[in-house]
Structures are given as structure tokens and as C-alpha cells.
């Protein structure tokens, strides 16, 4: 592969990833609206649904929100029947948040067709190609986590600078 071809391919890949991120954001906004939630509440629910039960502190860290903001969001999601609080059986002071089965029930008509189409679309790739795609996505997610932390540090530093 020529150097110019690699440069062009990397530029094309970057463009496609950025487009995918925008398309995903637009889709998620529509899904959140359909669920009667704002984007932040939807993101919290998505994290709970994909990562499983966690404390409010862990959810706050995962979303870069304050624990107070997470408490308000969880109150809203609990009232909607989408999240429940469950006391830790080993330490009754600790409370876990978990998505309810209602999330799956409401999500099935939205995500079922998308997942089915995705399975069909990915059917053109063999196991080795799927492993490359998985590796790519894991690498990109690790980079995003690294740079999200960097950006949030910049925000914190900026905030600390205005308080001097």
C-alpha cells in the first residue's frame, strides 16, 4: 500500500467515524425523545443497561456528572419505572441502581429492528474481519476515554483558574 493511499484511507476512516458519531447522536436523541427523557437521563439509563448495577457514585463518575445531578436523574428514571434502587445485602448503607425489565420491553421495538439489520449488515465479514473491527473499536474507545479524561481535566483547571 502506498503512503498516499494509507493517508487517504486514514482520512476516509476518520470521516466515516465522525459521521457515524453524528448519526448515532441523532438516533440517540430521537430514542430519548421517544422515551420521554432528555439526553443526559437517556445516557445514564444506557450506561446502567449496558454495565449493570452500580452505585450512584459510580454512575456519576461514568457520566462525569455530580452525585446530586445523578440523584435527580435516578429519581426521574425510578418514577418512570426504568430504574430501581436495591440495597446491598452485605452493606445496607450501600445502594445499587439497576435498570428494570421495562427498559428492555420499551427498547425492543426501537432497537430490535436496528440489531436485526446490523446482524445482516455484519454478515459479510468473516471471523478474522470481525476481530479486526472489534480491536479497532476497543482501541478507539480507549482513546476516547483517555481524551475525555484530558478534556475534563482542562475543564476543571479552567474552573479552578476562575476561582482564584
Neighbouring C-alpha atoms within 13 Å toward the C-beta of 139:
6
What gap in Å lies between CA 111 and CA 104, rounded to an integer?
9
Read off the C-alpha cell for 33: 425523545
113-122 own/partner pairs: CB under 8 Å, 24+ apart: none
pTM above 0.75, yes or no: yes
pLDDT-based confidence at residue 146 (cuts at 50, 70, 90): very high
Q: Is the pLDDT of residue 1 over 90?
A: no
- Do 112 and 118 touch, CB atoms closer than 8 A? no
Each residue of 36-77: pLDDT tens digit? 999 999 999 999 999 999 999 999 999 999 999 999 999 999
Measured CA to CA, the distance from residue 70 to residue 72 in angstroms comes to 5
Residue 3 reports pLDDT greater than 80 = no
pLDDT over threshold 80, residue 5 = yes
Amino acid at each position: 500500500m502506498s503512503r498516499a493511499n494509507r493517508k487517504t484511507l486514514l482520512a476516509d476512516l476518520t470521516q466515516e467515524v465522525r459521521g457515524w458519531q453524528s448519526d448515532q447522536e441523532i438516533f440517540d436523541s430521537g430514542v430519548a425523545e421517544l422515551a420521554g427523557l432528555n439526553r443526559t437521563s437517556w445516557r445514564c439509563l444506557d450506561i446502567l443497561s449496558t454495565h449493570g448495577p452500580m452505585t450512584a457514585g459510580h454512575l456519576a463518575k461514568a457520566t462525569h456528572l455530580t452525585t446530586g445531578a445523578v440523584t435527580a436523574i435516578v429519581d426521574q428514571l425510578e418514577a418512570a419505572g426504568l430504574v430501581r434502587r436495591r440495597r446491598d445485602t452485605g452493606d445496607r448503607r450501600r445502594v445499587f441502581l439497576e435498570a428494570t425489565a421495562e427498559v428492555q420491553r420499551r427498547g425492543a421495538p426501537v432497537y430490535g429492528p436496528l440489531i436485526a439489520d446490523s446482524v445482516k449488515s455484519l454478515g459479510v465479514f468473516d471471523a478474522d474481519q470481525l476481530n479486526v473491527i472489534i480491536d479497532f473499536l476497543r482501541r478507539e474507545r480507549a482513546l476516547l476515554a483517555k481524551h475525555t479524561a484530558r478534556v475534563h481535566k482542562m475543564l476543571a483547571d479552567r474552573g479552578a483558574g476562575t476561582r482564584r
